[in-house]
Amino acid sequence: MTKPVPTRISLPNVSLPNVSLPSVSLIAASCLAAPAIAQSSVDRIAAPGGEVVITDAKARAAYETWHYAPARRAGDYVYVSGVVIARASTGPYTVDSFKAAARSGFARIRAQLTAFGLTFDDVVMVNSFHDWTAPEFGGDRLAQFQAFGAVKDEFMTGVHPAWTAVGTSGLISPEGIVEVQMIAYAPQKRRPKR
């Protein structure tokens, strides 16, 4: 495997050099709002114990700008970094619009898993971080958790993974409602001893 040549990502109306701390949330929001650009193939970057996969322009921007792997294999596990489920910049903010955004987030996670030859059935741990003050739910934690859980159940139909849900006062993106990360068990093929 060869390491891909770094490419510069340009985000609309955002200058990446000399990024100031207050602009972090604006850049993150731009990354979330930018349409995903389909790639003809998955970029693979060799890493100790496995590899990193880059599946789309959002994943590439995360890797190059914020210096984290959207998904990385380490031994027998694949770690999928948090995917932010965000509201559109304009309303209406409803339970149905939240569910549509959640489906988009789960589709991004599915693409990461697929790049490793995995499915949601391989996921053993889910961590979700919830901004309970989201206007879609008027601060009703149970309503948000139920809506998120309903979408999760559309994608994750096999044996249930372990799951921790944590409330927070906000996410990096001001439009963020929930961030979800996953860990999948994916044993590497063992080579016979010589």
As a dihedral over the C-alpha atoms of residue 72, residue 156, residue 58, residue 177, rounded to 10 degrees, the angle is: -120
> Given a cut of 80, is residue 29 above it in pLDDT?
no
Highest mean pLDDT among 66-70, 86-90, 172-176, 190-194: 66-70
Task: Please give the share of the chain, as a percent, with pLDDT higher than 90.
Answer: 59
pLDDT band at 193 (very low <50, low <70, confident <90, very high): low
Say if CB 44 and CB 51 are below 8 A apart: yes
Question: Is the confidence at residue 10, as pLDDT, over 60?
Answer: no
**Segment 37-55 mean pLDDT:** 80
